[in-house]
Structure 1
């Protein structure tokens, strides 16, 4: 009888701890799902109940979000998707340091090939002068001048995007603007979105990779622009990096350009 009572008591304890473990796992799973539902609702993708329960609406919202980000559209809350939604499941180590930018000897060295950089004089030395008149450089073609102008516009945008001046960043846009997947957006919406992004990622680095491609747009003075960048963003407890393919529609505005449409697609290595 005593043995039977001990076995019965042991079974009850095992069952109790099994139920407790299952409830704990379910609690954390439901909390992650609930937070994901909140994040997807902020992005106007999920309109169901915020209850931590998986449902068809939530699955479809995940698929739309994954497609938007260039992820595999599984409809499941995997690590990559959760990390992108800032749910604390980062795929990049929090202790990973952002790589330092290369330090150049002078601005002029940036325009020279690597073998030619060693031939540059020190900044404190004068360059030798030549009595011979240098040949005149060949005149740039209109297409080359336009390419240089558009490339400079892209580089300036990336440079100013690393700073915290919201008004300066908004000065590149023509409102209303086709703003990523939000459709047409006005200045107020883009201002709020930009401030939130700066707050979320106070450290940002963007590097243009390869040439800026462009072609004439549908309307006079418009151009369709495509380029690839390497990005590195970080906050106090999180870091992320990767590459994006960027698509713009820009329009000449007197001596400058303005962006009429902006979108991006994450690229996988």
Structure 2
């Protein structure tokens, strides 16, 4: 089993405390578990007999949750199915949860901004904060469980700060928006984000967000170089368009139509260059094969 080291909290050596904790617990469970770390790939290779989801839950309980308080649970008590991933120099923690059927969602994210991290003090300039954009097919709803998060929303680019007391907030299709941490938040911010409905083409799902967020994080951390054809192609398959000059009302639909067409050209050129929307670096072999069957690559 090969695991991205970010899912285990950035492990550094075979003798590290996280791995020692896992090995000790494995002995109690009568399983002999060996680990090999490949620094060049940032991966942990293990003969652990557990499926990925079970292994990650096991690791969180044995080690990660001992370091601090547990992240707030979702109101529907949805289980973690992937993560946690430590991104953007540790300032942003990404987890994927199994969405309850009532959400009618293609993906459910639990995101944590570390309030005392220097990058979170940058607010809108945090490298995870996306440029103003809109989605054609799906709503994006978020709910703050702890702390504060800011949004820029609408053609008037209105900034609003949300807290737990505000409850779920839906950003409907065709509404420009962006998210960012609040620089003076007194505590870590934890929020749920989900995309819905789940019966659309060109949807936003776990594989899409894993690829997009990990790629941008790796670019920021200078692990990979930014390829504009790749980022445009990945974004294009999710029916998402950037917004240019949002307050220039005289431009009308050109504010999204021109960026959409530019993105389409870059995406088409990227395919001709042999790129795929979902990158093998961030996608399991099984998921990549399944995506190929549905022609999403």
Same fold (TM > 0.5): no
Q: Which has the higher helix share?
A: 1
TM-score, normalization: structure 1?
0.23
Normalised to the residue count of structure 2, the TM-score between the two structures is 0.21
**Which structure ranks higher in relative contact order (CA pairs < 8 Å, sequence separation ≥ 6)?**
2
